[in-house]
Amino acid sequence: MQRNRRFLLALSLTALLLPGLSFTSFGANEPVLNPGAKDAADQGALSITLYLTDALHLSQAQAQAVRACTRHELEQLAATPGAATPATAPLQVQKEYELAMARILNPEQYRSFQLLERGPLVVSTVSRVLAAR
């Protein structure tokens, strides 16, 4: 029962998040990526957003903002030549992501996010995006 509920939640969040994505933009500073890296960043952002939405009980507005923010971070990492693993990611990209997340999440959610972002799902997702370059 719990598993079905989580699946339905993930499915409904996917349906809710997809329509508003074309209106989200971070301006002219977006990196130029090959199609494989861009697809990996999009999929990675979706995976991480669904995980964080469930773990942090995000609202729809928060989930949309988290997905856009996460996709931007993953694209930045994929465009950085020196980032071979999440551990070697540029500190500036990580700081920008954490600041953006602090603006989206409430203090309790942010504290939990700080623990979750170092977890295996997030680390493996970032690694897949970096490998797709």
User: Which tens digit of pLDDT belongs to each residue from 12-60?
Assistant: 556 555 544 444 444 445 555 677 788 889 999 999 999 999 999 999 9
The answer to whether residues 67 and 84 touch, using CB atoms and an 8 Å cutoff, is no
What's phi and psi for 32, nearest 5 deg? -95, 120
pLDDT, residue 22, reads: 41
Q: Are 105 and 56 in contact (CB under 8 A)?
A: yes
Model pTM score: 0.70
| Residue 39 token pair | 């697809």
